[in-house]
Amino acid sequence: MDAENLHYFEKAPIAKAVAHFAIPMMLGTSMSVIYSILNAYFLGTLGNTAMLTALALTLPLFAVIMSLGNLIGIGGGTFISRLLGEKKYEDVKHVSSFAFYSSLVLGLIVIAAGLPLIDSIVHGLGATPDSFGFTNDYVLMMLIGSPFVILFFTLENIVRSEGAAITSMVGMMLSVVVNIVLDALVIFVLHWGVIGVASATVVSNLVASAFYAFHMGVRSQFLTVSFNWFKVNKEMISNVLKIGIPVFIMSVFLGAMSLIFNHFLVEYGDQAVAAYGISSRLLQFPEFILMGLCEGVVPLIAFTFTANRLRMKQTIGFTIKSIAVLAVLFGVLVYLISDHLIGLFTNDPLLIEMGSYILHVTFLSLFISGATTLFTGIFQATAQGTAALVMSVIQGVTLIPVLYIANRMNGFHGVVWSLVIADAAAFLVGALMLFVLRNKLQPELEAFVH
DSSP letter, residue 218: I
Candidates 180, 153, 156, 175; CA nearest to 167 is 156
pLDDT at 445: 44
Tell me the residue type at 273. Answer: V
Question: In angstroms, what CA-CA distances link 102 with 141, 159, 215, 249?
Answer: 21, 16, 18, 18
pLDDT at 325: 92
pLDDT at 26: 82
* pLDDT band per the 50, 70, 90 thresholds, residue 449: very low
pLDDT (tens digit per residue) in 118-144? 999 998 888 878 888 888 988 999 999
Q: Is-contact 257 415, C-beta < 8 A? A: no
SS3 131: coil
Question: What integer is the mean pLDDT of 297-303?
Answer: 86
Q: Which residues make Cβ contacts (< 8 Å) with residue 302, sequence separation at least 6?
A: 78, 81, 82, 85, 161, 380, 381, 382
Q: What angle do CA 85, 15, 371 make, to 5 degrees?
A: 85
Indicate the domain borders of the chain: 17-449
CA distance 257 to 419: 10
Question: In angstroms, what CA-CA distances link 7 with 21, 23, 90, 122, 292?
Answer: 12, 17, 21, 49, 21
pLDDT (tens digit per residue) in 271-284? 777 778 777 777 77
Question: What integer is the mean pLDDT of 333-359?
Answer: 78
Question: In angstroms, what CA-CA distances link 187 with 42, 193, 198, 278?
Answer: 7, 6, 11, 18
SS3 306: helix
Asked whether residue 450 carries a pLDDT value surpassing 50, the answer given is no
Report pTM: 0.75
Q: How many CB atoms lie within 10 A of CB 234?
A: 7
CA distance 168 to 215: 10
CA distance 39 to 192: 13
Q: Is-contact 24 168, C-beta < 8 A? A: yes
The segment with the largest mean pLDDT, out of 150-154, 257-261, 379-383, is 150-154
* pLDDT band per the 50, 70, 90 thresholds, residue 2: low
Candidates 401, 415, 320; CA nearest to 362 is 415
Q: Which residues make Cβ contacts (< 8 Å) with residue 174, sequence separation at least 6?
A: 204, 207, 208, 211
Q: What is the CA radius of gyration of the chain?
A: 21
Candidates 16, 12, 49, 30; CA nearest to 283 is 30
Asked whether residue 255 carries a pLDDT value surpassing 80, the answer given is no
What phi, psi does 45 have (nearest 5°)? -65, -15
Q: What DSSP letter does each residue of 368-425 carry, written as one string?
A: HHHHHHHHHHHHHHTT-HHHHHHHHHHHHHHHHHHHHHHHHHHHHHHHHHHHHHHHHH
Its sign, for the CA torsion 80, 83, 88, 91, is: negative
